Structure 1
Amino acid sequence: MQNLPPLNSLKAFEATARLQSFTKAAEELNVTRAAVSQQVKSLEAYLDATLFERNGAQLNLTQAAHEYLPVVSHVFQSLSAATQHLFSRQQQAQLTLHVAHSFCSQWLMPRLADFHRQHPKISFKVSTTANAMPSNSDIADVEIINGYGEWQSQKAIQLTRENWIVVASPGFLNLNPVRDLADLTRLPKLATGGYQETWQCWLEQQGYQGTSIKLTGEFEHSLLAIEAAVNQLGVLLVRDLLVEDHLQQGTLVKVGEWSMPSRGAHYMIIRDEEKPHVKAFVDWIMQSL
């Protein structure tokens, strides 16, 4: 086709103009800075126009470049979308996930259908774990675990910032109204075992100075503790993210306005993010949280 600049020159221009940096454009295109600069110069010669004004370390777009950039970007986006739609492999890509038990059941499962609607060609293989350390093998494309992020051998992205709150079923609170901490301490208390954040330290942070706290029920997994609270066994100390849906649906209610920041968080370990199905999941979960 006539009157079309070379594709590589257009790619170099689009990346440089969007990032306003030859160096960043080179990193994105996986070429040298000199190669990007040469491609831009070739495009300027082809168009007989100046696209960038160099002011020391600063790179500024000319008026012509400002007008040309959205056109070039739109063409690349349209070409990419058409290629994906028309020529993507017909077989499903399988996404393997290794996820903390409670996060999987209480947060991910209620929302996974939304991801599937957006990406119907991606199938799943989901396993769960109670481990607070990432695995050292390629067990999954994505791991989501609850911990403290102190893993030198793994690159982990913190997904959440959570608070410990107290919840109970509406029916339980109707029979056992809570007006203050004294009322709360007299009620049957539920917890998940294995956390640094205990009922004792949570109450002390709220100003409680009474005797040591005894539990009515301690559970191996948060999902069991949540079910116990839903079924009116007592008041539960839990991370707010895990009961988000229960609070919205009204099966549990927050007791008072007390809370305590969690020392831990949910972290995501990603392997081979360049795979399209992995990147699609990572983008989706970051937008959903």
Structure 2
Amino acid sequence: MTNILSASLLGWLRCFEAAARHCSFTQAARELCVTQGAVSQQVKQLEQWLDRPLFQRTPRALVLTPEGERLRQVVGESFQSIGSTLTQLRKPRDRQPVTLSCSPSFAMVWLTPRLGSFFRQHPDIGLRVYGEFHALDRARMLRDGTEAAVRFDPGHYPDLEARMFLEEWLLPVASPAYLAAHPALRSPGGLRAAMLLHDASPWDGASETHEWQCWLRHAGVTLPDVSDGQRFNLSQLAVNAALAGQGVAMGRTALVLDDLAAGRLVDLWGIHARAEAAYYIVHAHGHAAQVANVEAWLVAEGIAFDAARQQLLGSGPQTKGKPLSAHDGRASRLS
């Protein structure tokens, strides 16, 4: 059968696939680094070649026709398969370092101190860690050459494989000096909104006050204006402010356990709320053996941390009987 995939047709399909995925010529143009008009024209030429419309062009968005949706599925799957195969084929025989994109606070406080263990177990695997917290999808990971990523979020990755390796719990923390200067904090009723230190971007799509609201609901505490207080764009910055005696931060156990153990921070009331997000390792399907080794190591380290967390914080009645465990059979893969 004659191959009809000319260079022009492949170019049209590339623009169509991006526009269909984003339902926007503008966003497709931004991804492809061309003008919006160029994408629109390429799609129009494809429609003329097929002699049928692929989009309904509404004032608010592009809407795929049934024929357009059929083509989107086929082209999208084909491009993903081609991209995955090319990524694997272009790797030289001598192993290159694995690129791991990681949430900055988690990378600094939890991951980096444990890397020595990974390199001792896998001296032949290089690992390059980059502190990043942007949202991920398959196209972006392939484009950036990122083999794997660690993210703190609810774990919704429809076109990637994600495995939760560590659940998270939320607990208000403050320095001993701050607690001594504010004796009303001996009980949750003494908490004031002005004392709050917020991570204003806990994950992509979460509100600035999301973690505090989660804990307040769990604890049954009401504040008139949760949006008051200081804001930071990283959880570790809020924790550092708490260490400096500037207020009460919403601590994630992975980021504050060492400070609690050393007495630099105080778990104010022993009320621990399960976070709506967790730590996931995310990668494309058909990943390399090196990525599998990184994943297995993270899972093992997560289990070890979980044991240390339970030993320090326990699972008493203030957590409503829920053990502080990430490994109770609910670790899952999302595909």
Q: 2:237 aligns with which of 201, 224, 240?
A: 224
The residue number in structure 2 matching 1:288 is 301
The residue number in structure 2 matching 1:185 is 192
Q: 2:107 aligns with which of 92, 104, 107?
A: 104
- The one-letter code of the counterpart of 1:190 is L
The residue number in structure 2 matching 1:215 is 228
Deviation at 1:214, TM superposition (A): 4.5
- The one-letter code of the counterpart of 2:154 is Y
Show structure 2 runs of 5+ residues with no match: 1-92, 303-335
TM-score where L is the length of structure 2: 0.54
Higher fraction of helix: 2
Counterpart secondary structure, 1:160: strand
- The one-letter code of the counterpart of 2:195 is P
8 Å contact from structure 2 (residues 197, 230) kept in 1: yes
Identity of aligned residues (%): 28
Separation in 2, partners of 1:217, 1:171: 19
Separation in 1, partners of 2:225, 2:194: 14
Alignment of 1:9-48 (within 5 A): none
**1:35-57 Cα distance to aligned partner (Å, 9 max, x none):** xxxxxxxxxxxxxxxxxxxxxxx
Separation in 2, partners of 1:144, 1:258: 27
Matched, 1:117 2:126: no
8 Å contact from structure 1 (residues 189, 215) kept in 2: yes
Q: 1:212 to 1:241 in 2, by over 3 A?
A: same
Say what the alpha-carbon RMSD is for the aligned residues.
2.6
Counterpart secondary structure, 1:162: strand
Deviation at 1:135, TM superposition (A): 4.9
Q: 1:264 to 1:176 in 2, by over 3 A?
A: same
Deviation at 1:287, TM superposition (A): 0.4
Counterpart secondary structure, 1:150: coil
Count of residue pairs the alignment pairs up: 201
8 Å contact from structure 2 (residues 160, 283) kept in 1: no
Alignment of 1:163-202 (within 5 A): 163-177=169-183, 178-185=185-192, 188-194=195-201, 195-196=206-207, 197-202=210-215
Deviation at 1:272, TM superposition (A): 6.9
TM-score where L is the length of structure 1: 0.62
Deviation at 1:124, TM superposition (A): 2.3
**1:49-101 Cα distance to aligned partner (Å, 9 max, x none):** xxxxxxxxxxxxxxxxxxxxxxxxxxxxxxxxxxxxxxxxx966412111111
Separation in 2, partners of 1:282, 1:273: 13
Q: 1:94 aligns with which of 70, 93, 97?
A: 97
Deviation at 1:232, TM superposition (A): 1.0
Deviation at 1:185, TM superposition (A): 2.6
Matched, 1:262 2:275: yes
Separation in 1, partners of 2:299, 2:126: 19
Show structure 1 runs of 5+ residues with no match: 1-89
The residue number in structure 2 matching 1:70 is none
